[in-house]
Amino acid sequence: MEIELGIWAILISGAAVAGWIDAVIGGGGLVLIPLLLAVVPGIAPATALGTNKLVGVSGTASAAVVMVRRVGAQSAVKYVPLALLCAGAGAASASLIDAALMRPIIIVLLLVVGTFVAFRPSFGAAAVEKKEVATWRRWVLLLAVGVISFYDGIFGPGTGMFLIMAFTALLSQDFLRSAAMAKVVNTATNLGALVVFAWGGHVWWELGLILAVANIAGAQLGARTVLGGGAKLVRGALLAVVVVMSGYLGWQQFGYPKLAITAWMS
């Protein structure tokens, strides 16, 4: 399948924008997947989703490296194996779950998160000084990472935001450090889902690798935007994601369900 030069320009620009969004808060798939389906004639939805994972894992990994070096969130690496396995299991199970059943639940969760953050301005603004994280918090965080990773494989929207909330609440740390940890885990969830898509032959490697370069460029800019803006920027981006994703999922669920794009938009 040949792609015209003008379409390449649109796709590369879209991949760069998606990379920036992913690095700041997550949700770049909401840009790139509809774009692929709209401008690449004949591309199968599964191939668009799988190719998006290839693009997304590249940009998210590059942003994770920059942010972890600056913020010092290397401890997130210990969650990588769990995230890989759970995201892969979610992707493998995706055909068993009706997206129409998932969307209302996610919309409610998004609104709950947004309301909590909006009315708790101190939440995530600064780390709480603690000598050691309670054991029960560590176990709950492991469970949360597993569930969110499975969700990313099976559906996806809001994964980065949910990870940031989990790390902030259970480790009592600021949004910036949580965002860095979320990038590490989100890289693993993207990779776990990518393996499943690749196994099924649903990845357009040539297209994905070219768009990955643009995605990395956008992600590098996004990572530096986050580091420059700090916890205040992450908080604002989180609230923006709640509004945009709630509206988008609501449009899919209640407005034009026949045009809905299902699964894996993190």
Whether the Cβ atoms of residue 248 and residue 34 lie closer than 8 Å to each other: no
Residue 253 lies in a domain: yes
Alpha-carbon 5 to chain mean position? 29
Residue 56 lies in a domain: yes
Amino acid letter at 190? N
Confidence of residue 181 (pLDDT cuts 50, 70, 90): very high
Confidence of residue 129 (pLDDT cuts 50, 70, 90): low
Backbone angles phi and psi of 21, in degrees to 5: -65, -45
Phi-psi domain of 42 (left: phi exceeds 0; alpha: psi -120 through 50; beta: other)? left
pLDDT at 130: 62
Residue 225 lies in a domain: yes
Q: By three-state DSSP, how is residue 25 classified?
A: coil
What is the DSSP-derived secondary structure letter of residue 126?
S
Whole-angstrom distance, CA of residue 43 vs CA of residue 116: 40
Q: Write down the pTM of the prediction.
A: 0.84
Residue 98 lies in a domain: yes
State yes or no: pLDDT of 131 exceeds 80: no
Nearest in space to 194 (alpha carbons), one of 22, 28, 32, 50: 50
Residue matched to tokens 């299902």: 262
Whole-angstrom distance, CA of residue 183 vs CA of residue 63: 7
Domain extent, residue 25, equals 5-259
Residue 265 lies in a domain: no
Tell me the per-residue pLDDT of 27-86, one tens digit each, with 9 for 90 and over.
Answer: 888 888 888 988 888 888 888 888 999 999 999 999 999 999 888 878 899 999 999 999
Tell me the per-residue pLDDT of 184-238, one tens digit each, with 9 for 90 and over.
Answer: 999 999 999 999 999 989 899 999 999 999 999 999 999 999 888 887 888 888 8
Amino acid letter at 103? R
Whether the Cβ atoms of residue 35 and residue 14 lie closer than 8 Å to each other: yes
Residue 181 lies in a domain: yes
Residue 68 lies in a domain: yes
Residue 264 lies in a domain: no
Query: If you average pLDDT over each of 76-85, 157-166, 247-256, which comes out highest?
Result: 76-85
State yes or no: pLDDT of 258 exceeds 60: no
Whether the Cβ atoms of residue 53 and residue 43 lie closer than 8 Å to each other: no
Helix (H) or strand (E) holding 253: none
Domains in the chain: how many in total? 1
